[in-house]
Amino acid sequence: MHSPIEANELLHRMNAGESLNLLDVRGVIEFHTYNIGGNNIPLPVLAKTADSTGYNKKDEIIVICKVGLRSETASRILKDAGFENVRNLTGGLIALQKLK
């Protein structure tokens, strides 16, 4: 499965206290400036190490970045590496922040 996740669905699931596999593919400085949790593996690093992310290839992974472009690329990288349930946050963290 390789489908997007809308910001309102992600916010609802976060507010419900659901345990989510969040993968933030922004740069380290961007991540430390603002993040919603999860693991930070910058896109250039992920491109080289997709098989060693620590995630189970069958688990849902929600990939996030600022606007959704880098995370879309990361989603394709993960899918190509055999991850089966990768979801890209549509509109990225900008869309999520607009809802808060």
pTM higher than 0.85 for the full model?
A: yes
Both tokens assigned to 49: 């190490």
For residue 3, what pLDDT is reported? 85
Q: 19 φ, ψ to 5°?
A: -80, 115
d(CA 66, CA 14): 18
Burial (CB count <10 Å: 0-12, 13-18, 19+), residue 60: middle
CATH code assigned at 36: 3.40.250.10
For residue 1, what pLDDT is reported? 53
Domains contained in the chain, number: 1
Nearest to 95 by CA among 78, 75, 71: 71
Question: Comparing 70 with 100, which gets the higher pLDDT?
Answer: 70
Tens digit of each residue's pLDDT (9 = 90 or more) over 6-46: 999 999 999 999 999 999 999 999 999 999 999 999 999 99
Q: Provide the greatest CA pair distance for the chain.
A: 34
Tens digit of each residue's pLDDT (9 = 90 or more) over 62-83: 999 999 999 999 999 999 999 9
Domain that holds residue 40: 2-99
